[in-house]
Amino acid sequence: MSVDQHFTTTPKHVRYRGRFAPSPTGPLHFGSLVTALGSYLEARRQQGEWLLRMEDIDPPREQAGAADAILRALEAYHLNWDGAVLYQSLHYEAYETALTQLIESHHSFVCSCSRKTIAVNGNGHIYPGTCRNGLAPGGTPRTVRVRVPSEYETFTDALQGQVTSNLQTDVGDFIVHRADGLYAYHLAVVVDDAQQGITDIVRGTDLLGSTLPQRYLQRCLGYSHPQYSHLPLAVNQHGQKLSKQNFAAAIDTRHPGPTLSKALAFLGHPPPAELQGAGPALLLSWATTHWGMQNVPHTASICVGSEGK
């Protein structure tokens, strides 16, 4: 690029745009509150926008009423989002277009393997490449996978540091269209982050590894890469992520102050003594002024003891 071009094509200032993207598999629990709070505070601190996306593309895993319960809980905690909520269940056309793009650009292939055949042919975790050059004779198409090259994908996470993996040996050809006809999480999340113009993703370390295939997908689809910050994950005394499966309790929406204070402390920002007993509006206004990602613990997880029960 010539010097002249450099000065004439100075990019417009890209505003910070973050998001919280819960899956409605159950009500908001302490772990998901931490993610919502961290992404909210970073967006507000950067004077950016904070969007909300309901990731309801996996009906078998969803719980009736959970999407609304999550929205009501965020409101009770004064975590007010910008614009309308994007429901992934209403966005299938965008995923279909992206899938067609992947197929037409030969970034993907049709696969007939089941979990069982993958376990037999490989190590059970990484797809052994069975159908990358065509279906086995007599094989029926089940899924669509992205063909990953034997290259390293590397990025620097603001909290977790450098992450690097070989796409073929550590990630493997991953599914973008499932055997049950549903679009896979990796595809939907990447398409929506790009369409919503998300510049920064703040989420839990349970998704740190997912960032590698997601970044590869961004390359295949010609999207730019957002910045990533993976917050420490709240785990129970057994080291498990708080979730519906291990009976994480729904957060108290009637008295949000104490839980919000705990979530702030978890993220390295314990509110001062004079805010003891304060409600969410005061706590959030203090936290927005004092927030700094550098003060969030740079660890993968933090045990919150029996919080999960």
**Given the rule CB under 6 A, which of 18-26, 63-71, 128-136, 149-157 is the region that contacts ligand GLU?**
18-26
38: phi then psi, degrees, rounded to nearest 5: -60, -45
Quick check: 21 binds ligand GLU (CB under 6 A)? yes
Specify which residues 86 forms β-bridges with.
Answer: 53
Q: How far is the CB of 275 from ligand GLU (least distance, A)?
A: 29
Q: What is the 3-state secondary structure (H, E, C) of 131-191?
A: CCCCCCCCCCCCEEEECCCCCEEEEEECCCEEEEEEHHHHHCCEEEECCCCCECHHHHHHH
Own/partner contacts of 159-162, CB < 8 Å, gap of 24 or more, are 159/229, 159/230, 159/231, 159/232, 159/293, 159/296, 159/298, 160/205, 160/208, 160/230, 160/298, 160/300, 161/298
Quick check: 207 binds ligand GLU (CB under 6 A)? yes
Cβ neighbour number for residue 189 with a 10 Å cutoff: 23
Nearest CB to ligand GLU, comparing residues 111 and 231: 231
d(CA 66, CA 27): 5
Q: How far is the CB of 141 from ligand GLU (least distance, A)?
A: 27
Asked if 229 contacts 291 with a C-beta cutoff of 8 angstroms, the reply is no
What is the size of the binding site for ligand GLU (CB under 6 A)?
Answer: 7
Residue listed under structure tokens 């910008």: 82
Nearest CB to ligand GLU, comparing residues 17 and 203: 203
**Which residues inside 214-273 make contact with ligand GLU, applying CB under 6 A?**
none
Cβ neighbour number for residue 61 with a 10 Å cutoff: 12
Nearest CB to ligand GLU, comparing residues 170 and 206: 206
Quick check: 28 binds ligand GLU (CB under 6 A)? no
Output the six-digit token pair for 153: 């994908």
Q: How far is the CB of 230 from ligand GLU (least distance, A)?
A: 10
Output the six-digit token pair for 184: 């896979």
**Given the rule CB under 6 A, which of 17-25, 121-129, 235-243, 273-281 is the region that contacts ligand GLU?**
17-25
Nearest CB to ligand GLU, comparing residues 196 and 285: 196
Q: How far is the CB of 57 from ligand GLU (least distance, A)?
A: 9
Q: How far is the CB of 286 from ligand GLU (least distance, A)?
A: 26
Cβ neighbour number for residue 176 with a 10 Å cutoff: 27
**Given the rule CB under 6 A, which of 3-11, 15-23, 149-157, 215-223 is the region that contacts ligand GLU?**
15-23
The contact pattern for ligand GLU, residues 186-205, with x = CB under 6 A and - = no contact, is ---x-------------x--
**Which residues inside 40-79 make contact with ligand GLU, applying CB under 6 A?**
55
Binding site for ligand GLU (CB under 6 A): 21-23, 55, 189, 203, 207
